[in-house]
Every structure is written in C-alpha cells, then in structure tokens.
Amino acid sequence: MRGRTLVLAILTAAFAGPAATLAQEGVKDWPCKGQTSDPLTVEAIWGGPLPGGATAAAWESDAEVRAAVVFATEPENAPDTGIARLGELVPNLGVGAAKQARLASVAVGMVERSNILRGFILEGVRNFTLSARILRTAVADNDKAIADLPKEDAAAATRTNLTRVRRSNFMRMDDAEEEAEFLCTRLAYVEKKLRRLTAAVKSHFDAP
C-alpha cells in the first residue's frame, strides 16, 4: 500500500514513451494473468481491419480529433466521460467518407495513447516484480542463516537481528507483489476502457 500513491501519480503523468517489454527485461513470473505485455493493435480493438486508412499522423494533425482523443484517454477521465466527449466531437466531423476517415483516426489515436499508458504500467509491473523476486531470495537467505545459527544463548542477539531483517524483507516483498497485482488491474482497465471508447466510435461510423 505504501507505494500506491506514487504509482497512481506516475500513471496520471505517463504519456511520454513506451517502456521495454517484460520479455526483453527477462521477467518470467508475469503476474498479470489474462493480460499480455504486447502492444494493443487497432485491428484487435476494432474487431477487424480499420476502414478509412487512418494513420497516427492523421489524428495528431487534426486539432479537434486530437483534443477529443487526449481527453477520452486521460487516466482520470472515466469511460462514460470519454464517450460523452467523443459524442460532442461527432457533429463536427463532416459527413460520408470524410466523417468516417476522421472517426477512424480517433480509433487510431486512442489505441496509440492507450499503448503509451500501458507502457508505463508495464514498467511498474516489471520493477515491482523484479523487486519481489530479489526480496524473495533475500528472505530465503535469511531463513537459512537463522536455521544455521547455533542454539546457544550466545547466538540469541544475532538471531533477533536476523529475524528483524527477515521480517522487513518479507514485508517489502509482500508490498511489491501487491503493487504489481494492483498494476495488473490497471492494465486490464486500460484495455476495457479502450474497448468501450472504440465501441462508441464504431456506433457513429455508419450513422448519418
């Protein structure tokens, strides 16, 4: 729990650049069951090839689209708030093919922004997972050192000190594992939110 405030602050300020994947960092004990460290794709979120030929450059260079994408994907804005903002954008997108192209660029922008946020979350998962692994080894070493101590009273002070160190390492390990699990829920939430936002965009695609 002690690192939770810091974690949330980092996520809110994220959007700068994706982190390395866990596979590249050698993290094997991936704690986010049902979630992958691979980037999300527009096709997977949209449910097929994206019509309109939109590109990242298209959404970034369109001031109205960019403002809506940024607002909708900000971590502090709930899905319903983002959907409402996207709804405000639709009347300004034009009609026909032009409207569809700009809606498609919204979808591209939201996936790109969500992947940046996921990159920061994955970096946090990586750091906490590695910390937990290191501390798990330290706790095992502490246990062995305590078990190897002689039973004589002369070793009592050493045993007390080692027990104190072991307790500290265990608590830090537990905190790291808890923070990693918390970030896993954030990872799942980002994808769930993105899918809701994308479904809202799709609902306007063929509307007059």
> By the 8 A CB rule, do 50 and 42 touch?
yes
The angle subtended at Cα 181 by Cα 110 and Cα 119, nearest 5°, is: 30
Spatial distance between the Cα atoms of 57 and 73, rounded to a whole number of angstroms: 17
Residue 185's φ and ψ, nearest 5 degrees, are: -65, -35
Short-list 168, 115, 117, CA closest to 139: 168
User: If you ran DSSP here, which 8-state letter would residue 37 be given?
Assistant: S
Please write the tens of the pLDDT for every residue from 159-200. 999 999 999 999 999 999 999 999 999 999 999 999 999 999
* Alpha-carbon gap, residue 116 to 179, rounded angstroms: 20
pTM of the model: 0.79
107-140 residue pLDDT tens: 999 999 999 999 999 999 999 999 999 999 999 9
